[in-house]
Structure 1
Amino acid sequence: MSLIKKDGYDFAFNPKGCESCEGNCCIGESGNIWISRQEIEYLKNHLNISIEELTSKYIEKRGYRYSIKERKLAENNYACIFFDLEKRQCGIYEARPTQCRTFPFWEYFKTNKEEVIKECPAIKEL
């Protein structure tokens, strides 16, 4: 088992855990899926669509930042627009934004470890 560890976090991440997960990090309460302008450009190229099509279908501006849109599944239950519900996996994995790439090692989880343990079956306490 190859655990991923990061300084400052008292938990590790086992990538194999994603195989048995239902996509908990991509589904749940509504939130922000931040994406930078550079990542938007990369995603546009990855999907081979125009910036206009990408921003109208998949991106929304929130204040001075951009977020990937979500779709409502049920009351208080949303999924990233790029999450494939049938395959239970990310549809843009190679082009996913930094926020997704760095999960679960978010600053927030340094002091809210119980929350990420509850959400993610790949978390292992150290």
Structure 2
Amino acid sequence: MSVIKQDGFDFTFNPEACNECEARCCRGESGYIYVNKTEATAICDFLDIDMKELIDKYLYKKSYKYSIKERKIGENYECVFYDEKINGCGIYEARPTQCRTFPFWDYFKTRIDELKDECPGII
């Protein structure tokens, strides 16, 4: 088992748990996944689309930032890039920093119990 520890966090993360997870970090409550210009360009390159198409199909403006759109599934939401066939991210190689750094978000520093409910890889 290869667990990840990050300074400043009182938990570790076992990425192997992602294999058994139901992509809870991509599905569930509504939220914002912000994308900067560099990340948007990487997603465009990965999907082989232009910026206009990315914005029109996959992003929306939230205040002065862009966030990835969600699909409403029953009472829950899922990231527009969530791919049920692979039970994971359809743009994994080009996913934004916010996704890459999960579960090590400042928000969870004082909410470990909430994180454990969401992510089975938290130790």
TM over 0.5: yes
Aligned equivalent of 1:91? 90
Aligned equivalent of 2:59? 59
Instruction: Say how many residue pairs are matched.
Output: 123
- Separation in structure 1 between the aligned mates of residue 44 and residue 122 of structure 2, nearest angstrom: 32
Q: Unpaired runs of 5+ in structure 1?
A: none
- Separation in structure 2 between the aligned mates of residue 86 and residue 42 of structure 1, nearest angstrom: 23
Matched letter for residue 103 of structure 1: F
The 5 A counterparts of 1:65-80 are 65-75=65-75, 77-80=76-79
Matched letter for residue 29 of structure 2: E
1:71-110 CA-to-partner distances (Å, cap 9, x unmatched) read 00012x0000000123211100000000000000000100
Q: Unpaired runs of 5+ in structure 2?
A: none
1:10-61 CA-to-partner distances (Å, cap 9, x unmatched) read 1000010000000000001111011111100111111100111111000111
Aligned equivalent of 2:110? 111
| Secondary structure, counterpart of 2:12 in structure 1 | strand
RMSD (CA atoms): 0.7
Matched letter for residue 113 of structure 1: I
Aligned equivalent of 2:121? 122
Matched letter for residue 99 of structure 2: C
Identity over aligned residues, as a percent?
56
User: Normalized against structure 1, the TM-score is what?
Assistant: 0.95
Aligned equivalent of 2:30? 30
Aligned equivalent of 1:82? 81
Matched letter for residue 51 of structure 2: I
- 4+ runs of 1 displaced by more than 3 Å? none
Aligned equivalent of 2:40? 40
TM-fit CA distance, 1:114: 0.5
Matched letter for residue 17 of structure 2: G
